[in-house]
Amino acid sequence: MKPSRAPRRPVIGVTVSRRSAWRIFPLIRLNLALAGARALRWIDRDEVDLSAVDGVVIGGGDDIAPTLYGGELRAEVVLDHDRDRMEAGVIEAARARGLPVLGICRGAQMLNVVLGGTLHQNAFEVFASRRYRTILPRRRVSIRPGTRLADIAGTRPMKVNALHSQAVASLGEGLKISARDEAGMPQALESTAAPFALGVQWHPEHLIYARRQRRLFRALVHAAAARTTGADQMAQVDRMPDSLRDLRERIGGR
């Protein structure tokens, strides 16, 4: 009797900035590996094949060009038009195919823009939020009960990092806010219907030691597994580490 083959791990396409891919992609790849998936890197002019993946991460990086949502261009912003075009196409195609999407910082904003929403170019001119520029968890956010984010991470206030300058203004079609900071600035959004789409304004890839942050990647991988081979693949995801002790054991720590 032939031994049964292990279920195929979901493949997740990850968009990253050409400038920061060398340090950001390995972090996202590690988070996805711990959640039971393989990562495939996409950078602005790369050929993107959505048929090769089961889900998508839209990573963080530069501001989004205001021309995409009817805003005025400011001289001080750093833009990447090639990446804007690539990610807009990836999100549109992923939604059409029913692929789950996780947006990180810029990725959450891009999800909103592609679905018809707008952004505050400088959110700190609008909200009385304290500005942080660190990967350490300094911002406190409140999660709205009854949301997908609450199902994933619970409703207890969460400490997150904050490196962004833009934030959601008007919401895109089929989206709702699922977390805000203490000044009311949107910090997470999600789709109100299938397929899975969740965007967080912070960078969970830097917070790998935090169980609730790892669960964001697991939720994406679980949605990708559910879309493809079903129960066997989801069972593999469910066996991924959730406690810090399990995480240390998996990556060889003590």
Residue 105 is a catalytic residue: yes
The answer to whether residues 32 and 39 touch, using CB atoms and an 8 Å cutoff, is: yes
How far apart, in whole angstroms, are the C-alpha atoms of residue 213 and residue 218?
9
SS3 102: strand
DSSP letter for 63, please: P
How far apart, in whole angstroms, are the C-alpha atoms of residue 83 and residue 174?
24
Name the active-site residue from 105, 164, 190, 222: 105
Residue 120 is a catalytic residue: no
How far apart, in whole angstroms, are the C-alpha atoms of residue 70 and residue 119?
9
DSSP letter for 223, please: H
How far apart, in whole angstroms, are the C-alpha atoms of residue 70 and residue 117?
10
Name the active-site residue from 87, 164, 205, 222: 205
Name the active-site residue from 164, 203, 206, 222: 203
* Strand ranges inside 68-209, DSSP E: 101-104, 119-120, 134-143, 158-162, 167-168, 175-181, 186-191, 197-200
Could you list the active site residues? Answer: 105, 203, 205
